Amino acid sequence: MTSKNYNPEIHHRRSIRLKYYDYNQAGAYFITICVQDKKCLLGKINEGLNHINQYGKIVEEIWNYLPIHFPRIEIDGAVIMPNHFHGIIVINEYQKFGESLNDGLEKGLERSRQFYDKKTFLGSIIAYFKYETTKLINLQRNSPGVKFWQRNYYEHIVRNEDSLNILRNYIIENPLRWEIDVLHPDNLTGVW
């Protein structure tokens, strides 16, 4: 069954994920998520300094909460840009049998099980992040049900320590390069 809005002749949807890669496995992933229509709703950058607004603070809060909700992960560098978000997620090995989790973590795992069956673990993390931030931002905006993030996300598999350090540096310097960023409103070319 296909949606009435989906026309395969017009909409050439294809996966942007690496074919045959297991996104459930341990590793580090650099992710980029764009605001719907790339609108600058998360803050401003003035003279290379990032000034997040109340919506950007919600994004920051949910990002910092992810390791509590998903105890198998760690968060690394992140930056909230006016119309997109970059972050590094590290997925650790499964917890060994017999190790216990505290009650709060067990509840977090139980709440996230709905995502595990249909998505990869990385996809589950991103879906939860987008859902929670959208819900809280829309509460503040008094706009229930409105899409906040674009469909999908970009991810890069971090393959070694050198690559990880390059991405961490990219995150730190991203506000300094805002004027030339491909996602800056003045530079959008339709590629993203």
For 20-66, what is each residue's pLDDT tens digit? 556 666 889 999 999 999 999 999 999 989 999 999 999 999 999 99
Amino acid identity for residue 105 in this structure: L
pLDDT tens digits, one per residue of 65-103: 999 999 989 999 999 999 999 999 999 875 433 334 444
**Other C-beta atoms lying within 10 Å of the C-beta of residue 43:** 20
**Other C-beta atoms lying within 10 Å of the C-beta of residue 45:** 20
- Classify residue 14 by its DSSP letter: -
Q: Positive or negative CA dihedral for 109, 111, 112, 118?
A: positive
Residues with Cβ < 8 Å from 174, sequence gap 6 or more?
79, 81, 86, 181
Superfamily of domain 27-176: Transposase IS200-like (3.30.70.1290)
| C-alpha distance from residue 75 to each of 69, 171, 191, 192 (Å) | 12, 13, 28, 25
Say whether pTM exceeds 0.95: no
Q: How confident is the model at residue 120 (pLDDT cuts 50, 70, 90)?
A: confident
Domain boundaries, the chain: 27-176
